[in-house]
Structure 1
Amino acid sequence: MFHKGTMVSRLTLSFAALALAALLQPALADPPRAVVELFTSQGCSSCPPADAVLADLARRPDIVALSLPVNYWDYLGWKDTLAHAAFTDRQKAYAKARQDRQVYTPQMIVNGRKPCIGSDRAQIEKSIQETTGTGGLLPVNVGLSESRGTVTISVDETAQTTDRVAEVWVLPVLKEHAVPIGRGENRGRTVTYANVVRGMKRVGEWRGGTARFEVPSDEARGGADGYVVLLQALDHTKPGAILGAAKSEGL
């Protein structure tokens, strides 16, 4: 037999414990409504304002924001310390897919489709609205889980579509990196870059419906702070629309 007061005390403690547990649960990130890719360069005097815009977008849980430094301004007197030829190739491939030959810095590509000046906040927001799917989100769900040194990527499209082909990519990302620039147009400035991509690894191909892909955790991170997963349609071997995306915890 127990006393009524004891029962009330125990119930009170139980509810308090549940409330505390709820508070300690990490908040779930919103499903991404957009992927924004900024093609930037340490040798471009117009880029720092766009780098600041990208940093602001990177703080939004519903945006996957990426800096992709290019190398075609290196001849101006400063070799970009973060640039990668693959990012230059990616920007050119986007231009070929659009058939407009528009390759410049700072250029933002929204959801793999809309190009705009990287410092133009109004145009970026408009492009996000114009390229999001039903309900203001990317059309295909991409989930991430990590256990025992393996990242599992789940792709789930409720209405199965078999006439589209997409690729699954994993991109290691540095959350923040400051660079003192010694020469060129930005000489004497220290620019802080957000969500800097350090490589691109193709994980597999997706043709609609539900699928799972696995990649070792150390490969996904690539020595960086975290990683982003992109599900991107193929447009005759060139990059097409971003169909889905996810980012690791902490980005």
Structure 2
Amino acid sequence: MRKAALFSLTLLALPLSAVSGTAAAKPPVVVELYTAQGCASCGEANGHVAKLAEKPGLLALTFSVGYWDYLGWADTFAKPEFAERQKAYAAKLALREPYTPQVVVDGAAQATGSKTAKVDKLVADAAKARRATPPDVHFVGERRVYVGSARAPKGGGDVWLVRYDPRQQDIAVKSGDNKGQTLPERNVVRDLTRLGAWRGQPVSFRLPAPSDDGLKTVILVQAGKGGRILAVGQPKG
């Protein structure tokens, strides 16, 4: 309790000029696309999520997975931690196994990414849904983030650092099921790091340096083990 009180006083004492990227009262709807460059049915989903990325009040993130690499093309953006994140969703949402293309909305609902009308409905429903008051997320400089107090879900939550490339990537696939095709990918996630636990009390984390120039940073506060996304924080500018 003493540590939490000291933290709160420290945060209140910070000059306003030092604090940026406060999470809005209503976080943006988070749309996660799980896709693969070797997936023959992923092109339409990639293109649709690229369009969703332009919409206000919505954060689209593209996670590439590598479990289709054996079909003849190694995905250029896939990392094991992205597939592990998708597996957690599969368990939470009672799916038999992960698949592509899959869209997960706010960590709470999912649809086949190529069923664009269903994806749009999930996004619209999430935007209208009433949510509990999220914890504030504050960035101080470029290397530290604070997550404030709020009611935590049973079992607490996790704080995730996501870094993604906001530019559209047009990937020319030279082998496998998509040989000869150019696949669009937008807001491609390059780094995913669990910073630590959040249990309703204020916590702070030091951020690692980005792996590449030009990446954007987002913090997701999320119920544990593939649960609902509770708060979203991004630096201003």
- TM-score greater than 0.5 by the shorter chain: yes
Q: Deviations over 1:109-159 (max 9, x none)?
A: 111121101132321232234445754x67414433242x423233343xx
Instruction: Give the percent of matched residue pairs that are identical in Structure 1 and Structure 2.
Output: 34
> Would you tell me which structure has more strand in proportion to its own residues?
1
Amino acid at match of 1:151: R
Q: Is the 8 A contact 2:159 2:198 kept in 1?
A: yes
- The equivalent residue for 1:140 is 134
Q: Say if 1:171 and 1:55 are closer, same or farther in 2 by CA, change over 3 A.
A: same
| 1:165–1:205 CA contact under 8 A, matched in 2 | yes
1:154 aligned onto 2:147: yes
**Is there any run of 5+ residues in structure 2 with no aligned partner, and where?**
1-21
Q: Per the alignment, in what secondary structure is the counterpart of residue 75 of structure 1?
A: helix
1:9 matched to which residue of 2? none
Q: Does 1:203 align with 2:195?
A: yes
> C-alpha separation between the residues in 1 aligned to 2:158 and 2:128?
19
2:212: which partner in 1?
223
With over 3 angstroms needed to count, the CA separation of the structure-2 counterparts of 1:29 and 1:169, relative to structure 1, is closer
1:63-119 Cα shifts (integer Å, max 9, x gaps): 121101011111111111111111112212211122221421100011112110113
2:223 corresponds to: 233
Give the whole-Å Cα distance in 2 for the aligned partners of 1:53 and 1:74.
Answer: 23
**Which segments of structure 1 move beyond 6 Å, counting only runs of 4 or more?**
none
**Mapped pair 1:213 → 2:196:** no
Q: Which amino acid aligns with 1:221?
A: P
Q: Which of residues 110, 114, 118 is equivalent to 2:109?
A: 114
Match of 2:66 in 1: 71
TM-score of the superposition, structure 1-length normalised? 0.75
Q: Deviations over 1:161-203 (max 9, x none)?
A: 5745001010111112332211112212222311111121112
Quote the offset at 1:32 in angstroms. Answer: 2.9
Matched residue type, 2:37:
Q
Q: CA RMSD in A?
A: 2.5
Deviation at 1:220, TM superposition (A): 5.5
Give the greater-gyration-radius structure (CA).
1
| Bigger proportion of residues as helix | 1
SS state at 1:240 partner: coil
- Tell whether the 8 Å contact from 1:97 to 1:240 is kept in structure 2 after alignment: yes
Amino acid at match of 2:190: R
Match of 2:230 in 1: 243
1:94 is paired with a residue whose SS is helix
Q: What 5-or-longer segments of structure 1 have no aligned partner?
A: 1-27
Q: Relative contact order, CA 8 A, sep 6+: which one is greater?
A: 2
Q: How does 1:181-192 map to 2 (within 5 A)?
A: 181-192=173-184
